[in-house]
Amino acid sequence: MSGNMYPSNHPQIPPTTEEIAVSSLRLLRSKRVGPATFRRLIREHGSAAAALAALPEIAAAAGATDYTPCPEPLVLYELKSGRANRARLLIWGQAGYPAALNDLDDAPAILWALGDTALLNRPLIAMVGARNASSLGTRMAKQLAAELGAAGYTVVSGLARGVDTAAHIGSLKTGTIAVQAGGVDTILPIENKQLSEGIAKHGLRIAEMPMGMQPQARHFPARNRIISGLARAVVVVEAAAKSGSLITARTALDQSREVMAVPGHPFDARTYGCNMLIRDGATLIRNAEDIIEALGPVETQTTLELPLEMPQTPKRSLRETAGPHDQILQRLGPSPVAEDQLIRDLGGDSKVVSPILMTLELDGRISRQAGGLLALSN
């Protein structure tokens, strides 16, 4: 008689770190699964492996009959490339993932990290500014970064020319974090190759994009939300009236982070953005002491802790998941709308509407943009 007639009472063996990495990357790299959908699927199904197994059924409920998740060989190649570059994979909901990013609506699902990940647990301050920074601006950024590092803070920036480069150089000895727009193994600008190697050795480089990916224009706003999200405050040193640094500052405000700015001469176009921020309520910064005074000394700050368990969303039937698609599509247009605003307009419950949004996203009917905003797909 076959032994299969008697079910085993042994507890199920938990997945290994490698299995979690493979299933998480397969889920994220699957068609029409972005960071927000990734998190929602894991909340609903409990794990990346379970969410991955449910994907075809969810896609079928949304009308996609030939949906296939990302093939395993593709993510195994990405993991192999990461190991070859000595990079570590940080996964949302798993140990090692930056606690400061957990409260973001558009938190990255994964991060590739190269260097000392312990720096993510220190008090972080972001510093951004003009790529074509003046000599005075680069000196100011370098000095602020050095003094903040000496005071126990870790400086976060984007490894771009100008202010970013100066901030990393100033804080390299005390540890600095560079958030890259492309893959963590790609260097841009090329003149920062030596600095990048120094950061990997004495600090930390992180990136949301896959290994080997060259940065595209659309990647920089996504990169900026991570820079501001990691930090308690964003310090802007020289920024034009329309610049990526101001986008980072606005993102920081949306994330409930402090925004600070170094004032400049009103005739210098590179400082228009900083002066506008100060006019609108940003803290005026003359030196590192102003930043420390506004935030308090390092000893008094608390570190965010990861929840012991990820919040679970009750499972729903396919009939419920495939709810009033048309009503949602009629409400959306080409202009992006916040998800909570859409739910209020519909007069529905987020526990019911959110999974329907997920199926529409998987079906390619709607797209999720920076800041978690929703719009009809082109």
* 3-state helix/strand/coil string of 223-252: HHHHHHHHCCEEEEECCCCCCHHHHHHHHH
Question: Is the Cβ–Cβ distance between 134 and 238 less than 8 Å?
Answer: yes
**248 compared with 310, residue with greater pLDDT:** 248
For 13, left (φ over 0), alpha (ψ -120 to 50), or beta? Answer: beta
Separation CA 127–CA 231 (nearest Å): 9
When pLDDT is averaged across residues 34-41 and rounded to a whole number, the result is 91
Q: In the chain, where does the domain assigned CATH 1.10.10.10 lie?
A: 318-376
Radius of gyration of the chain from its Cα atoms, rounded to whole angstroms: 22
Query: In this prediction, what percent of the chain has a pLDDT beyond 70?
Result: 85
* pLDDT reported for residue 324: 58
When pLDDT is averaged across residues 58-64 and rounded to a whole number, the result is 82
* pLDDT reported for residue 305: 43
78-102 confidence digits (pLDDT tens): 999 999 999 999 999 999 999 999 9
Question: Is the Cβ–Cβ distance between 313 and 281 less than 8 Å?
Answer: no
* pLDDT reported for residue 64: 77
**284 compared with 8, residue with greater pLDDT:** 284
- Checking if the pLDDT of 26 tops 90, the result is yes
Residue with tokens 């993991």: 79
* pLDDT reported for residue 318: 37
* pLDDT reported for residue 303: 47
153-209 confidence digits (pLDDT tens): 999 999 999 999 999 999 999 999 999 999 999 998 999 999 999 999 999 999 999
Tell me which of 12-16, 25-29, 265-269, 317-321 is least confident. 317-321
Q: Is 45 helix (H, G, I), strand (E, B) or coil?
A: helix
The most confident of the ranges 32-36, 123-127, 131-135, 307-311 is 123-127
Residue 11 — very low, low, confident or very high, per pLDDT cuts 50/70/90?
Answer: low
106-121 confidence digits (pLDDT tens): 899 999 999 999 999 9
Q: In the chain, where does the domain assigned CATH 3.40.50.450 lie?
A: 112-300
When pLDDT is averaged across residues 215-232 and rounded to a whole number, the result is 93
- Checking if the pLDDT of 259 tops 50, the result is yes
**377 compared with 68, residue with greater pLDDT:** 68
**CATH fold of 318-376:** Arc Repressor Mutant, subunit A (1.10.10)
Q: Is 271 helix (H, G, I), strand (E, B) or coil?
A: helix
* pLDDT reported for residue 204: 98
Q: Which parts of the chain fold into alpha helices (H)?
A: 17-29, 35-45, 48-61, 72-84, 135-150, 163-171, 193-202, 219-230, 244-254, 272-279, 288-295, 318-321, 325-331, 339-346, 350-362
* pLDDT reported for residue 313: 43
- Checking if the pLDDT of 243 tops 80, the result is yes
Q: Tell me whether the omega of the peptide bond preceding residue 189 falls within 30 degrees of 0, making it cis.
A: yes
The pTM of this model reads 0.79
Pick the CATH number of 112-300 from 3.40.50.450, 3.40.50.300, 3.40.190.290, 3.30.300.30: 3.40.50.450
The most confident of the ranges 32-36, 232-236, 252-256, 314-318 is 232-236
* pLDDT reported for residue 9: 54
* pLDDT reported for residue 346: 75
Residue 58 — very low, low, confident or very high, per pLDDT cuts 50/70/90?
Answer: confident
Pairing of strands 88-91, 110-115: antiparallel
Give, in degrees to the nearest 5, the angle at Cα 254 between 252 and 259.
35
* pLDDT reported for residue 72: 95
Q: Give me the chain's average pLDDT, please.
A: 86
* pLDDT reported for residue 14: 64
* pLDDT reported for residue 344: 76
